[in-house]
Amino acid sequence: MTRDIWTRWPAREALTQEDLTRPRRLLIWGVRAVFIGMLLWSAFARKEIPGWGLALAVLVIVLCAGAAAWFLHTTLERRLWPSLMAWGVLLVAGAAAQGTGFETPAAVLWCACAMMALERLPLAIAVIAALTSLGAFAVVNEDPWPTTAAVTVGLGLAGYVLRLDAEARGNAQRLLAQERAARAAEAESAALGERARIAREIHDVLAHSLSAQLVHLEAARLLIERDADRDQVLGRVVAARAMAAEGLAETRQALSALRGEMTPVEDFLRELAREDGASVAVSGERRALPAESSQAVRRVAQEAMTNVRKHAPGAKVTVCFEYGEREVMLDVTDSGGAPGEFAASGAGYGLLGMRERAELLGGSLEAGPEDKGFAVRLRVPG
């Protein structure tokens, strides 16, 4: 044993009764009731004691109960000297009972002192206190010495078992508290992660939709300032309106995705390609994808198609989607073309956002010139 084992207090969880089960509480209070009953019976069973003697005996019993309660309180707060003072009161009360002829109350008090000390005091002090109280009991006990020795050793072992049981219960309570704290932290982390996912999803939808609307509305403003043809201005307004409707649809789709209600990825890609006149090829065994991976594919495809409209309008676009063994791959390539009139406008989400989304999932994104056009390649777990 290390010095710390001899000098440290039992854990606070081992000394408190806050998390005790109802049967254990009843057992503890039952034992206490038996001890108090034995003391009272010993006092009132002797008929030769005058009335004032009985009153004094009851007063001493009340004093002992108060000292025991104070001992329990001070040991819970780990206050050594007040605990020893309360324990000393009980020890002296036992000696006084023995000196006045109350042998049974004296034995009860000394045995209780030993067991309480072993259960609640630092082990080094508890052993000394237990030896003192059990030694006093053994000295005055009139039973044969083998019986006295067996009772004394048994009481000492019983007190130490109570200490071990309290320590085990305290360790279990600490582990339970740690587990509850870990679960709470995990739940909080999951909630924060879900909030971040929802915020990212809404941001991506709005960034894609509102940036396109801004482009068309800015074009309409410039056309109006230049006194352009009414049909040109109307075309831009209609395009902005279409983008607003598309953004609303995407928002609804994002909300459905957050609820786990999503159309298959390949159906989404075909619908997206149909609007832009692109070709779609799907290969591999079709399967359900995790919500995050599915949304990443959708958002990257949308942004890639938006970039084609802005930077190479009229280019031929090919979308290839493949189900791999442990991942899915999306390739969006275009044949290149002359930059559009809004090629310099901000993308909002852009390649940086696409790459960030892929890396958050443990995937990758590559984007860059290829032949005469541009290619975007996404790999995410799925």
Q: Is residue 329 included in any domain, yes or no?
A: yes
Residue 328 neighbours by CB under 8 Å, 6+ apart: 265, 284, 289, 293, 297, 321, 322, 379, 380, 382
pLDDT of residue 149: 85
Assess if residue 232 is contained within a domain: no
Per-residue pLDDT tens for 76-119?
888 889 989 998 988 888 888 888 777 777 888 888 888 888 88
**Helix or strand run (H / E) with residue 375:** strand 373-381
* Residue 222 covered by a domain: no
CB 92 within 8 A of CB 66: no
Flag whether pLDDT at 321 surpasses 90: yes
C-beta of residue 342 within 8 angstroms of C-beta of residue 336: no
What is the widest separation between alpha-carbon atoms in the chain?
Answer: 125
Cβ atoms of residues 351 and 367 within 8 Å: yes
Residue 247 lies in a domain: no
Predicted pLDDT at 346: 44
Q: Which of 112, 142, 172 is the last residue of a domain?
A: 142
Q: Are 371 and 336 in contact (CB under 8 A)?
A: yes
- 273 close to 298: Cβ distance less than 8 angstroms: no
The predicted model scores a pTM of 0.47
- Amino acid letter, residue 146: P
- At what angle are helices 145-225 and 350-360 packed, to 10 degrees? 160
Residue 180: inside a domain: no
Classify the C-alpha dihedral 11-17-22-25 as positive or negative.
positive
Q: What is the pLDDT of residues 148-158, one digit of tens each?
A: 888 888 888 88
**Within a domain: 226:** no
Torsion, Cα of 102, 105, 110, 116 (10° steps): -160
CATH of the domain at 330: 3.30.565.10
What is the pLDDT, as a whole number, of residue 153? Answer: 86
Band (pLDDT 50/70/90 cuts) for residue 14 is: low
Which band of pLDDT confidence, cut at 50, 70 and 90, is reported for residue 328? Answer: very high
Burial class (CB in 10 A: 0-12, 13-18, 19+), 162: middle
Q: What is the pLDDT of residue 57?
A: 67
In the Cβ-directed half-sphere of 173, how many Cα atoms lie within 13 Å? 17
Residue 135: the pLDDT is 87
**What does the block give as tokens for 263?**
């159309």
pLDDT of residue 259: 64
Choosing from 142, 158, 191, the residue where a domain stops is: 142
Reported confidence tier of residue 3, pLDDT bands at 50, 70, 90: low
pLDDT digits (tens, 9 = 90+) for 239-284: 788 777 777 766 766 666 666 656 788 888 888 888 778 889 999 8
What pLDDT is stored for residue 45 in this prediction? 60
Whether 241 is in a domain gets the answer: no
In this predicted structure, the answer to whether residue 196 has a pLDDT above a threshold of 80 is no
Mean local confidence (pLDDT), 14-42: 66
Place of tokens 């605990």: 83
Instruction: Give the pLDDT of residue 139.
Output: 85
List the structure tokens of 93: 């009360």
Residue 312, domain extent: 262-382
pLDDT over 60 at 1, yes or no: no
The number of distinct structural domains making up the chain is: 2
Indicate the pairing of strand 364-370 with strand 373-381: antiparallel
- Bridge partner residues of 329 (DSSP): 322, 379
Residue listed under structure tokens 């002797």: 46
Condensed to tens digits (0 to 9), the pLDDT of residues 34-81 reads: 766 665 666 566 555 555 556 676 777 788 888 888 988 888 888 889
What's the pLDDT tens digit per position in 117-126?
A: 888 888 889 8
Domain end: 98, 117, 142, which one? 142
Place of tokens 């009272």: 40
| 32 three-class SS | helix
| Residue 184, pLDDT above cutoff 60 | yes
For 321-327, what is the mean pLDDT?
A: 90
Q: What pLDDT score was predicted for residue 217?
A: 83
Q: Is residue 270 part of a domain?
A: yes
255 secondary structure, DSSP code? H
In the block, residue with structure tokens 């799925």: 382
The mean pLDDT value of the chain amounts to: 79
pLDDT of 165 above 70: yes
Q: Tell me what pLDDT residue 319 has.
A: 92
Whole-Å CA distances, 52 to 43, 48, 55, 92, 154: 12, 12, 5, 21, 37
Instruction: Rank 5-14, 36-45, 293-302 by mean pLDDT and report only the highest.
Output: 293-302
Band of residue 17 on the pLDDT scale cut at 50, 70, 90: low
Confidence of residue 329 (pLDDT cuts 50, 70, 90): very high
| pLDDT for res 204 | 67
